[in-house]
Structure 1
Amino acid sequence: MHATSDISLTRPEARPLHLAVIAGLACAFLIGKTLPVMLDTLSSMAEPLCAVSDPSGSALDTVEPIGSYALPNVPGKRVTIVRVFYGPGGFTRAHRHAGSVTAYITKGEIRSQLAGGPVEIFKVGQSFFEPPGATHLVSANASNTEPAELIAVFVADEGAQLTTFVE
């Protein structure tokens, strides 16, 4: 048992975020498997929020909106789930997010670096967290031959632009 994980899960102020992330991931997998027709509608609604597919990134990379839900137990907040596909050698240029982001790797390996931190490589089944406003300097497929994919769960203010590119 790790004392730090036990403490963080029992702090009352941490519970709504943990529950939101868990619920978001569960909804993402359920919706992705059972309601594929809804994805086209969600895509047109969420595209302005998820500017990760900006052409300034690499070719063949896409962001697929999965769902977006108001959090009734956290007024003014919304959880948004997207699937990010990186082709071989794919990347997204430096950016920031308006809210907290938890990313879960579902295929391949993702190279990531937040400002002030080391470059890290995350494999299938691993996750990483980005605090609000952190500069994500490196977000890329670690392979030049195989695709990679992640699920990103945003928790941000209602109406916030989720991604802003760094000039």
Structure 2
Amino acid sequence: MNPRILITAILAVGVLSLQAAQAQQEIQRTDLLQKDITVSGKEVVQARVDFNLGAASISHKHPGEEVAFVLEGALEYQLEGQAPVILKAGQSLFIPSGVAHLARNVGEGKASELATYIVSKGATLVEPVE
């Protein structure tokens, strides 16, 4: 094999690996609580989600309701079939079960939310939507 092609291929793989690692670090989710509730078959899940400057989630949905509370910064939420809404620290948003949505940091620095879900027990929490 041509050494020049081999070196180019190795560099390309390295760049793609670095880009994938950086994309994963743009949004960090920290699970805080997962507990059964008195409603049969349901549980509460709570997580802190930190968004680096300009980071956006993929479009996704949940197997239950979500309440998103912005802890810091400014986040734009786009819910399927609705106009985008921008929330700042101290504001919250209700996201109905099964509604596709995404969140994007539109502030000037880091943004964070406290996400609280009431979901079907044992279901996959985040389902990507194409």
What's the TM-score once normalised by structure 2's chain length?
A: 0.79
State the AA in 1 paired with 2:81.
Answer: G
Retained in 2: the 8 A contact 1:141–1:147? yes
Give me the whole-angstrom Cα distance separating, in 2, the residues matched to 1:131 and 1:110: 18
Task: Note if 1:69 corresponds to 2:35.
Answer: yes
- Residue 10 (structure 2) aligns with: none
SS at match of 2:71: strand
Name the structure where helix makes up a greater proportion of residues: 1
- Structure 1 segments, 4+ long, off by >4 Å, are none
1:3-82 map, 5 Å = 59-71=25-37, 73-82=38-47
Identity of aligned residues (%): 29
- Residue 90 (structure 1) aligns with: 55
State the AA in 1 paired with 2:126.
Answer: T
Pairwise CA distance, 1:58 = 5.9
Give me the whole-angstrom Cα distance separating, in 2, the residues matched to 1:155 and 1:130: 11
Structure 2 counterpart of 1:160, from 106, 123, 128: 123
Retained in 2: the 8 A contact 1:58–1:91? no
Give me the whole-angstrom Cα distance separating, in 2, the residues matched to 1:157 and 1:98: 6
> Structure 2: which 5+ residue stretches go unaligned?
1-19
Task: Note if 1:140 corresponds to 2:118.
Answer: no
State the AA in 2 paired with 1:61.
Answer: I
Pairwise CA distance, 1:59 = 3.7
The CA deviation string for residues 9-43 of structure 1, in whole angstroms up to 9 with x for no partner, is: xxxxxxxxxxxxxxxxxxxxxxxxxxxxxxxxxxx
Retained in 2: the 8 A contact 1:105–1:149? yes
Retained in 2: the 8 A contact 1:82–1:151? yes
Give me the whole-angstrom Cα distance separating, in 1, the residues matched to 2:29 and 2:88: 19
SS at match of 2:26: coil
Give me the whole-angstrom Cα distance separating, in 1, the residues matched to 2:39 and 2:118: 10
Higher relative contact order (CA 8 A, sep 6+): 2
Give me the whole-angstrom Cα distance separating, in 1, the residues matched to 2:25 and 2:120: 30
Name the structure where strand makes up a greater proportion of residues: 2
- Residue 70 (structure 2) aligns with: 105
State the AA in 2 paired with 1:66.
Answer: L
> Structure 1: which 5+ residue stretches go unaligned?
1-53
Pairwise CA distance, 1:60 = 2.6
SS at match of 2:90: coil
